[in-house]
Amino acid sequence: MQALTNRSKVVSKKEMTFMERMYLPAIFGGMMITFSHFFRRKPTIKYPEQKREFSGIYRGQHVLKRDEKGAERCTACGLCAVACPAEAITMVSAERKPGEENLYREEKYAAKYEINMLRCIFCGDCEEACPKEAIFLTDRQVSVYGQRKSFIYGKDVLVESKDSPIDLAKRQTPSVKEFKLHKEFGHNQTYDKNKKVNAGGHH
Amino acid sequence: MAKVTIDGHSIEVADGTTILQAARMIGGDIVPPTMCYYSKLKTSGGYCRTCIVKVTKGSEKDPRPMPKPVASCRTTVMDGMEVVNITSPEVLEARRGVVEFLLINHPLDCPICDQAGECHLQDLGYEHGLAKTRYDFPRRTFNTIDIGPYIKMHMTRCIMCFRCVKTADQITDYRVHGMLNRGDASEISTYIQKAIDNDFSGNIIDVCPVGALTDRTFRFKSRVWFTKPMDAHRNCTKCSGKVALWLKGNDVLRVTGRKDKWGEVEEFICNECRFEKKDVKDWTIEGPRHIDRHSVISANHYESLAKLKLDIGKQQKALSTKK
């Protein structure tokens, strides 16, 4: 019969030699490869006793930062939520009342701010979109829970505590630091009646 | 009839048409942006200077160019006039300067402002790339004022376009607010914070090109791009009842007039429709309102989703009738 393709191979049924019939040389050959791996450098580490070093800009669990005075920076502008490709962020805004100036930096704040960590893909677009330097990703990892609802992080988890602020110095790249030096870009500084915006120059 | 050429596009328009109206008839990118001109309000325009264009040829009879850029909303066309807008680097440079002036005292508190996402000054600032400021002095600031139970005024954000003053003059029976003081000290205010309680006073929110006049019933409720604009109507004795509803789920967060592509309302609506009918049952919903796809409002895909829901509904209906 004519073959359909030219890929068919003729199987040879050659008689095995004595060495091949013994099998042992082949077994020892295989074991040599296996044992040689014992003496190689191990790629695994003993987590959790040992921890791998994270990159300075590792994108892990989010934090909502407070400003120097301890007031929340987030104004619930919604840019993180609209930038989020996974649609993981939701928020409800509220108006700051007189006397709450030490709690919230601006006249509007996020009364509710939720990130669904199961939806989040840790792309960092929220951090990039934020005009108020409020949300950052950190080098912390998201914990493990038994229930789905535990992964919906509210403000109780996301907002940093006043006593132990989270250091983000590593995330401030040289270009960010350079940008902050330029006063002429300070167009959208915090609006404060008593504070002079871009003070300096002619007086 | 007069023949006018704007950026190489020619059009025959009636005598007395302004350059801006002629440009809008042509349409597209060559239409100058406007902050104070509002076609539905008489004598509006001529304050903000964002619509400036260059007239390179005055008319057929007198072909001399005009010496300085002119406000296109206030300059009428002449036969044979040639105008350049976006094809002239000079005009773009001049407009950049105008935007810079408009932004001198504007706080740029867009993350807080309810107008963000549908603000003309935001578009203008973005278009001209004005991330920097050269202004060194403290900006003038004001406290916010509640004008009546429905309207909040942020004088700090005002750019002095006079649209609200003209609306109150022409749409409502009487006007109780106006411009006080002069020059850099001028401000929009009511006499002793007198409440504006006219039936059509809410329209000053719609005509405001920035976030200086905002809806108190919508204050900080949601960013506009998280709401879905829907065309809707109801039987109203005071106005046409044709509005745009801004929904979140089934909640009516805001009611506004239907704005056309120039950001001007098609019909002015009354306060009852705008502020008091916040139940979806009060309205007959016609369908999703088309918003330009470049707008951030279209980012929530409400239009395609509404169509999808309609399709699914139809299919379900067809299935249930089959049984």
A69: domain CATH number?
3.30.70.3270
Scan for tokens 């003496």, then name that residue.
A39
Q: Which of A95, A131, A182 lies closest to B111 in CB terms? A: A131
B85 contacts B7 by C-beta, under 8 angstroms: yes
In a domain, A42, yes or no: no
CB contact (8 A) between residue A78 and residue B107: no
* Centroid of chain to Cα B157: 15
Cβ of residue B251 closer than 8 Å to a chain A Cβ: no
CB contact (8 A) between residue B112 and residue A94: no
Measured in angstroms, the CA of A87 and the nearest CA of chain B are apart by 10
> Number of Cβ pairs closer than 8 Å across A and B?
73
Per CATH, the architecture of B105-132+139-220 is what?
Answer: 2-Layer Sandwich (3.30)
pLDDT of the residue at A176: 77
**Distance (Å, rounded) from C-alpha B319 to C-alpha B302?**
25
Measured in angstroms, the CA of A135 and the nearest CA of chain B are apart by 14
In a domain, A4, yes or no: no
Fold (CATH) for B2-101 = Ubiquitin-like (UB roll) (3.10.20)
Spans of chain B, pLDDT less than 70: 129, 191-196, 293, 300-301, 323
Q: Which residues of A touch B135 (CB under 8 A)?
A: 198
Cβ of residue B305 closer than 8 Å to a chain A Cβ: no
Out of A153-157, A179-183, B151-155, B235-239, give the one with best mean pLDDT: A153-157
Q: What is the amino acid identity at position A147?
A: Q
Cβ of residue B26 closer than 8 Å to a chain A Cβ: no
CB contact (8 A) between residue B141 and residue A81: no
Whether B105-132+139-220 and B2-101 are alike in CATH topology: the answer is: no
Q: Which residues of B touch A198 (CB under 8 A)?
A: 133, 135-136
CB contact (8 A) between residue B299 and residue A82: yes
CB contact (8 A) between residue B134 and residue A78: no
Residue A197 has pLDDT above 80, yes or no: no
Scan for tokens 């040289």, then name that residue.
A174
Q: Which of B107, B131, B300 lies closest to A185 in CB terms? A: B131
Residue A203 has pLDDT above 50, yes or no: no
Measured in angstroms, the CA of A105 and the nearest CA of chain B are apart by 11
Residue A68 has pLDDT above 70, yes or no: yes
More confident call, A89 vs B173: A89
Q: What is the domain extent for residue A99? A: 62-186
Domain count, chain A: 1
Q: Residue A202: which pLDDT band, with cuts at 50, 70 and 90?
A: very low
pLDDT of the residue at A195: 45
In a domain, A140, yes or no: yes
CB contact (8 A) between residue B135 and residue A94: no
pLDDT of the residue at B177: 75
Find the chain A residues whose C-beta atoms sit closer than 8 A to any C-beta of B: 75-79, 81-82, 93-95, 106-108, 131-132, 182, 184-188, 191, 193, 196-202
A191 contacts A106 by C-beta, under 8 angstroms: yes
Which chain B residue is nearest to residue A91, measuring alpha carbons?
Answer: B222
Q: Which of A106, A200, A201 lies closest to B112 in CB terms? A: A106
pLDDT of the residue at A43: 86
pLDDT of the residue at A86: 93
Hey, where are the domains in chain B? 2-101, 105-132+139-220, 222-323
In a domain, A45, yes or no: no
Mutate to test the interface with B, among A96, A105, A135, A184 (most CBs of B within 10 A): A184
Cα dihedral A43, A46, A51, A52, rounded to 10, equals: 0
pLDDT of the residue at B191: 61
Measured in angstroms, the CA of B54 and the nearest CA of chain A are apart by 30
B38 contacts B166 by C-beta, under 8 angstroms: yes
Counting residues of chain A whose pLDDT is more than 90, the rounded percentage is 52
ipTM of the complex, rounded to two decimals: 0.79
In a domain, A149, yes or no: yes
CB contact (8 A) between residue A108 and residue B108: no
* Structure tokens, B198: 């006219």
Q: Residue A177: which pLDDT band, with cuts at 50, 70 and 90?
A: confident
More confident call, A193 vs B1: B1
Q: What is the amino acid identity at position A23?
A: Y
Kind of pairing between the strands at A108-116 and B9-13? unpaired
Q: What is the pTM of this model?
A: 0.78
Measured in angstroms, the CA of B132 and the nearest CA of chain A are apart by 5
Instruction: Determine the average pLDDT of the residues in A97-110.
Output: 91
Length of chain B measured in residues: 323
**Distance (Å, rounded) from C-alpha A112 to C-alpha A50?**
37
Which chain A residue is nearest to residue B296, measuring alpha carbons?
Answer: A82
Residue A48 has pLDDT above 90, yes or no: no
Cβ of residue B100 closer than 8 Å to a chain A Cβ: no
CB contact (8 A) between residue A187 and residue B225: no
Sheet holding B213-215, edge to edge: B145-147, B151-153, B213-215
Measured in angstroms, the CA of B162 and the nearest CA of chain A are apart by 25
Q: For the packed helices B89-102 and B120-127, what is the interaxial angle rounded to 10 degrees?
A: 130
**Distance (Å, rounded) from C-alpha B159 to C-alpha B35?**
9
Cβ of residue B113 closer than 8 Å to a chain A Cβ: no
Q: Which of B108, B112, B131 lies closest to A108 in CB terms? A: B112
Please provide residue A169's backbone torsions phi and psi, each rounded to the nearest 5 degrees: -55, -35
For B237-280, the pLDDT digits (tens) are 989 999 999 999 889 999 999 998 888 999 999 999 999 999 99
